[in-house]
Chains A and B, each alone.
Chain A
Amino acid sequence: MTVESFVGAIEALLTVETMIWLLAGVIIGIIVGGLPGLGPPLGMAIILPLTLPLDAANAIILLVGVYSGSMYGGSIAAILINTPGVSSSAATMFDGYPMSQQGRAATALAISATASAFAGLFTIAALILFSPALIEMVLAVGTPERFLVAILGLAMITVVTRGSLAKGLLAGVAGLLVTTVGIAPMSLDQRYSETMYLYDGIDFVAVLIGLFAIAEMMKLAGQEGGIAKDEVTIDRAGITEGVRSTINHPITVFKSANIGMIVGAIPGAGATVSNFVAYSEAVRSSSDPDSFGSGNEIGVIASEASNNGTVAGSLVPAISFGIPGSSSTAVLIGGLLMHDLRPGPSMFDPSGELTLTYTMLLALLVGNVVILLFGLSMVTQLGYLTKIDTDYIIPMVIVLSFLGTYALRINPIDILTVIVFGIIGFYMVRYNYSVIAFVLGVVLGDIAEENLYTALQLSDGSFMIFVNPLEYGRWLSLILSVLIVLLIFGPYVKQWWERRQAV
């Protein structure tokens, strides 16, 4: 029966009309993702009413095409101009942009296209094969686990910080402080919200755009020539090198894609968290962690593989329970409902909508091939951007950054945020404070606070909910707690053990 659904799905997919919608979706997604601030939810929401005349399958394919394409598109701005096109590409900047500065933009873009596509292919295939297990996992993840995932992310500060650990922790704590502005997520406390525009706090995407795009443009203003400081090589060799580099790191691709899929399946965490976790894991497991942040190809592979993996993961709670893990999947669920499809177990039932679910997943598989081909064919044209004189680049990026930021939620505070954090970012880099640690704090602060509060409400104030599965039945919490402890103290224990052995 499942096989019948699968065959039916292939038949449905292999029509000219469906392929055109898929292609259109992916390309629109790449463009929307590439423009700072215009994330996938806005792109999908604009397209949603336009899908009304389409049949259900094509409508959903168009929407998921935009979603998937934008995950890749975000990396283009991240690599070329140090601006996160979408927040899920933030970690791509850490090594992607230095590669551009070194004249290796073509390689970085090729890596991004290849890693995105491979991770997308792998995770969608895994989703087709293992969806029942993933559905179980979604149900096992609750409030305490979400808090611990956020803490795991924060613990990564010890891994990704190069140089002074004290400075890294300080930057991380400063990032957490930024998230305390506005109404407390789970109580009535007002914090620093002097105007109603600060009521919902400081938008972290605006912070990212300021920290990276504006700070970098300030730096570039004092520099002659283009973004690339070194000789720019934009040729087929660079592309081949990028593709080969991705293929030569199958473990990074596999691991990051899995991290993306698992974190993506956790509602409320999503691609923004997963690309940092995957990046940090790549740094942690590397034999040369100091090379990250200055153009290590593995950093780009990890970030880009994880955010496309997230697409597959986030579909699990969306399709199986109608739980939107993010604004993008909320719009997608709206699309499903609009076309008379109810998220629920019937979407995975051969007598229900399984054929359509398979069609959608197979479309995503093909969509990833489109990303690969389209991405690689665009590399040479895009790479030239890094050769253009900064006198032209700077005003363009600044205008785009401000426009994109304002489009986020049409709140004038966001413009101020971009300016203030642009200046902060500029001086952080100058005085060697870890921008990555700061960003981890900004991204994870709200998630950690909100879920800590609710978890303690569930346990009547007892912290044992995180570590005692016998009383609370939450084994996943215990595993996550152990992982956090290992991550923080592991390196010290290892050092101590090695010293002891040496004596």
Chain B
Amino acid sequence: MFSVIMDRRTFVQTTGAVGAVGLTGLAGCLGDDNGDNGDDFPSESLTWMIPWGEGGGTDTYARQMAPLMEDPLDQSIEIDNREGAGSMLGSEWLVQQDPDGYTFGTVNPPGWSFTWRAQDVDAWEPEDLEPIAYSGVFGYTLIVNDDAAEDAGGIDDFESLRDAYADDEISGFGYQGAGSDSHLTTLLLREEYDLDYDSAVPYDGGGPTMEAVIGGEVAAGFATNTSAVAAEESGEATAIVNLMDIDLDHVFPDIDPITDYGDSLAWITEFYQVQVAPPETPEEEREVLMDAIQEATEHEETQEWEEETGNIVEFGDMDDAADQYVGSVEEIESQVDESIGGFDEFQRLVEEEEDEEE
């Protein structure tokens, strides 16, 4: 669902343009007397940038929260979808906006940091953006096709899934796009958790991957915790492995945690809905937004929505939000180094798989 790797050359060329716009933003800031809006923030409508298309998971969160934030802010919030390049286009746009608190956005670290690193973006850095709060978390599970599981004599946890692949009783493992975080996780599951699938098959995002498992085209594959609910509802597939650290027992009572089989994978399988503001946005404005987000996450309607949809709503304040992405690129780099030998090696493995197909 996230990104794909891109080569170094591509992004160098955007640097100049961003630099120029960045300066303009700064000039605007200097022109302002105090650099903040005083006590009357917000006095006009706000823009909430979502770097994904309408109807996706992050968009759904924002559209749930926005109306509930309008009351405490006493202003309307307009959702602005700026999709593209695995959320990098929208993020780059946000970096260039005025730091007046009226424009903010959502990013999904650590997947976001992974994408930034994998694409070698150098026009801006994740840490340029100012933290506001986080409002939720989601992550990956593994789902298995029920018929395939039955034919293999029952697959209900990671161990039996591993055995079924090892004994050639099932075939095909679906993930969400070449070079994505789920691709890296797929490789890690093979290297470190002995998941010896016969072929790993990339699909174009979460929907098609889930569809491939439900239709039995591949025996098992990735699904986010919310789409795993839908997969189970279809009556054709079951969520059997929780790749996150967050407990999912209330939704999937029998799900098997991957941490029983090795180290935590949360650094690449757990994603936060983190709200961030353009560089230099004053803390006072961000606090106002943070309070509104907190109110929205604790609202009765949100609680109901959480129960109904299986989305996990969780509030984290400004410091918690910063913790989710400040330093996360280094964390990912060291994890990738340790587990697979670095990003270059990851890219090499991905290309090797491609060549095998050709």
Residues in A lying within 8 Å of B, measured CB to CB? 41-42, 44-45, 48-49, 52, 138-139, 141-143, 183, 185-188, 190, 193-197, 199-200, 267-268, 317, 320-324, 327, 330-331, 333-334, 337-340, 342-346, 409-411, 450, 453-454, 456-458, 460-461
Point out the residue from B13, B89, B229, B235 that lies within 8 Å of A194, measured CB to CB.
B13
Chain A residue numbers with a CB within 8 Å of B265 are none
8 extra A-B contacts, CB within 8 A, seeds A45-B81, A195-B10: A45-B63, A188-B350, A196-B11, A267-B211, A331-B54, A334-B60, A409-B83, A457-B199
Do B89 and A411 have beta carbons less than 8 Å apart?
A: yes
A337 touches B85 (CB 8 A): no
Select one of B14, B55, B201 contacting A41, CB under 8 A: B55
Is the pair A45, B54 in contact by a Cβ cutoff of 8 Å?
A: yes
By beta carbon, the residue of chain A nearest B80 is: A410
Contact of A323 with B6 in the complex, beta carbons under 8 Å:
no
Which of B54, B201, B229, B235 interacts with A345 by CB under 8 Å? B235
Minimal beta-carbon separation of A230 from chain B (angstroms): 42
A86 to B271, CA, bound (A): 34
Report whether A337 and B309 are in contact in the complex, using a CB–CB cutoff of 8 Å. yes
Pick from B85, B92, B233, B354: contact of A344, CB below 8 A: B233
Complex: how many Å from CA A108 to CA B235? 45
If the complex has contacts A41-B54, A327-B55, A344-B234, are A460 and B203 also in contact, measured as CB distance less than 8 A?
no
**Does A267 contact B351, Cβ atoms closer than 8 Å?**
no
In the complex, A49→B80 CA distance in Å? 14
B78-95 contact mask (Cβ, 8 Å, vs A): 1 or 0: 011111110011001000
With A45-B54, A188-B4 in contact, do A320 and B215 touch (Cβ < 8 Å)?
A: no
Check B208 against A199 for contact (C-beta < 8 Å): no
Q: B231: which A residues are within 8 A, CB to CB?
A: 322
Known contacts A330-B55, A342-B229, A458-B201; A193 and B10 CB within 8 A of each other: yes
Which of B199, B204, B207, B358 makes the CB contact (< 8 A) with A330?
B207
List, in ascending order, chain B residues with CB within 8 A of A409's CB: 53, 81-84
B28 at the interface (CB under 8 A from A): no
A300 to B353, alpha carbons, bound, how many Å? 46
CB <8 Å contact, B55 and A343: no
A71 to chain B, nearest CB (A): 17
Whether A450 pairs with B11 at a CB distance below 8 angstroms is no
Contact B357 A49 (CB under 8 A): no
Could you tell me the distance between the alpha carbons of A190 and B202 in the complex, rounded to whole angstroms? 17
CA distance A481 to B351 in the complex (A): 31
The verdict on B172 contacting chain A, using a C-beta distance below 8 Å, is: yes
Please give, as numbers and ranges, the residues of chain A lying within 8 Å of B227 by CB-CB distance. 322
Nearest to A325 among chain B residues (CB) is B207
Q: How far is the CB of A411 from chain B (nearest CB, A)?
A: 6
Closest partner residue, chain B, to A459 (CB atom): B199
What 1/0 flags go to B41-80 for Cβ under 8 Å of A? 0000000000001111001100110110000000000011
Q: Which residues of B contact A142 (CB under 8 A)?
A: 212, 215, 217
Residues 222-238 of B at the A interface (beta carbon under 8 Å): 227, 229-231, 233-236
**CB nearest to B56 among chain A residues:** A330
Which A-chain residue is minimally distant from B203 (CB atoms)? A454
Residues of B at under 8 Å CB distance from A?
A: 4-7, 10-11, 13-14, 53-56, 59-60, 63-64, 66-67, 79-85, 88-89, 92, 172, 177-179, 199, 201-204, 207-208, 210-212, 214-218, 227, 229-231, 233-236, 301, 305, 308-309, 347, 350-351, 354, 357-358
Q: Flag if A460 contacts B309 (CB, 8 Å).
A: no
Closest 3 interchain pairs by CB? A344-B233, A330-B55, A322-B230
Contact of B235 with A344 in the complex, beta carbons under 8 Å:
yes
Q: In the assembled complex, which residues on chain B have CB atoms less than 8 Å from the CB atom of A333? A: 55, 230
B55–A139 touching, CB < 8 Å: no
* In the complex with contacts A42-B54, A183-B6, A143-B212 CB distance below 8 A: yes
Beta-carbon contact of B63 and A49 below 8 Å: yes
Inter-chain contacts of A193 with B (CB < 8 A): 6, 10
The answer to whether A200 and B85 have CB atoms under 8 Å apart is yes
Question: A197 vs B14: C-alpha distance in the bound complex, in angstroms?
Answer: 10
User: Distance (Å) between the CB of B165 and the closest chain A CB?
Assistant: 15
A and B contact pairs by CB, cutoff 8 A, 26 listed: A45-B55, A45-B59, A139-B216, A141-B215, A142-B217, A188-B4, A190-B6, A190-B10, A195-B10, A196-B11, A196-B88, A197-B84, A199-B85, A200-B84, A267-B207, A321-B211, A333-B230, A334-B60, A338-B64, A344-B234, A345-B233, A345-B235, A409-B53, A409-B83, A453-B202, A457-B202
Instruction: Check A323–B214 contact: CB distance below 8 A.
Output: yes
B55 to chain A, nearest CB (A): 3
Task: Please indicate the chain B residues that have their CB under 8 angstroms from the CB of A190 in the complex.
Answer: 6-7, 10
Contact at A188–B178, with CB atoms within 8 Å? yes
Partner of A458, one of B83, B204, B217: B217
B212 near A188: Cβ-Cβ < 8 Å: no
- Which chain A residues border B81 with CB–CB below 8 Å? 45, 409-410
Cα A415 to Cα B211 with chains together (Å): 34
Enumerate chain B residues within 8 angstroms of A457, measured Cβ to Cβ.
Answer: 199, 201-202, 357
Question: Please, which residues of chain B bring their CB within 8 A of the CB of A320?
Answer: 234
* CA distance in complex: A197, B234 (Å): 37
Report chain A residues within 8 Å CB of B67.
49, 52
- A185's nearest neighbour on chain B, judged by CB, is B204
CA distance A249 to B66 in the complex (A): 49
Question: Using Cβ atoms and an 8 Å threshold, which residues of chain B touch A188?
Answer: 4-6, 178-179, 347, 350-351, 354
Distance from A232 Cβ to chain B, minimum over Cβ atoms (Å):
39
Closest chain A residue to B59 by CB distance? Answer: A45
In the bound complex, CA of A320 to CA of B83 (Å): 28
Q: How close is B96's CB to chain A, nearest CB, in angstroms? A: 13
Name the distance in Å between A243's Cβ and chain B's nearest Cβ: 36
- The CA of A142 and the CA of B208, in the complex, are separated in Å by 10
Whole-angstrom distance between the alpha carbons of A340 and B307 in the complex?
Answer: 9
The answer to whether B233 touches A346 (Cβ under 8 A) is: yes
